[in-house]
Structure 1
C-alpha cells in the first residue's frame, strides 16, 4: 500500500522522527499539532486563537494529502486547562459544526512548550469514490 508522508518543514520532524501527517490508502493521520509556525508562536495566552490556528494547520496538511476538513472523522484535543473548554470548543465548532467528527478533549499536565495551551490530532478517511484516492490502493 502506498504511503505518503507530509512534512511541515519543522526541524523537529527529522530530530524526533515524525511527519505532520501520514496517508496510507484512504486513511490520513495528522500528528499532534500546536500553535507554532516555524519560529513564530501564534495566540499566546489565548486557547481560542491557538485552536483556530491549529485547525488551519491541520487543514493545510489534509489538503496536501488530498483531503479536506469534511473528511475528518476524529479529533483529539489535548488541553492544559480544561476550564477553557468552551473557548476551545467554540473554535472547534466553527470548523466542525456541520461535519461533527468523533472528538475527545482531555486535560494533560503539560505540552512540550509551556505556552502551548492546546494540541490537536486528527484522522481523516477518504471514500473509495473520493477523487484523491487515485493512485492509492484501498485494500
Structure 2
C-alpha cells in the first residue's frame, strides 16, 4: 500500500494540520476546498465564481496525484445561500454530467463570511476508465 499526502501551500493546511488530498492506494480523498485562488489568495465575491475557482483547485489537486474528475465517485457540495443553488448546480451539472457521482448538497454557514461555496470529493484512481453498469429504479 502507498499513502500520499498532497499540500497546496495553504497556510490553513499547516496551521490546522491537514492535507489538500490524502490518497491511499487508488482511493483519493480531498479536503473541503473553497474558491480561494491558491496563487493570489484572492477569494471571489460571488458564489458561482467561487465554485469555478474551487473546481480549478480540485482538478489541479487530482491531477497532481494522477487522477481526474472522471475518477470522482462522490461529491459533497456546500453553498451558504439557497438562492445560489440553481446557478451553481447547473454549473456542476455541466462539469459532472456523464461522470454522475453520488452527490450531496447542503446549505448553511461555512468557516467564515467570505466562504460562499466549498466542495469535497472522493475519487478512485482509474474509475473513469472502467465499464459502467447503469441501472435505474422507479419508486
TM category, shorter: 0.7 to 0.9
* Deviations 1:32-76, CA, capped at 9 Å, x for gaps: 0001124532421x2111111101100011001110000001110
Tell me what 2:2 maps to: 2
Contact 1:48 1:90 in 2 (8 A): no
Tell me what 1:126 maps to: 125
**TM-score normalised by the chain length of structure 1:** 0.84
Tell me what 1:136 maps to: none
Partner SS state of residue 5, structure 1:
strand
Unaligned runs of 5+ in 1: 131-139
Contact 2:73 2:122 in 1 (8 A): yes
Unaligned runs of 5+ in 2: 130-139
The count of aligned residue pairs is 127
Contact 2:47 2:116 in 1 (8 A): yes
Q: Which consecutive aligned stretches of 4+ in structure 1 deviate over 3 angstroms post-superposition?
A: none
Q: Distance in 2 between matches of 1:97 and 1:49?
A: 19
Tell me what 2:100 maps to: 100
Tell me what 2:44 maps to: 43
Q: Distance in 2 between matches of 1:103 and 1:83?
A: 19
The Cα of 1:11 is off from its aligned counterpart by 1.2
Tell me what 2:136 maps to: none
Q: Distance in 2 between matches of 1:68 and 1:48?
A: 21
**TM-score normalised by the chain length of structure 2:** 0.84
* Deviations 1:55-114, CA, capped at 9 Å, x for gaps: 110001100111000000111011111221111102211211121111110112x21221
The Cα of 1:118 is off from its aligned counterpart by 0.6
Tell me what 1:81 maps to: 81
Tell me what 2:27 maps to: 27
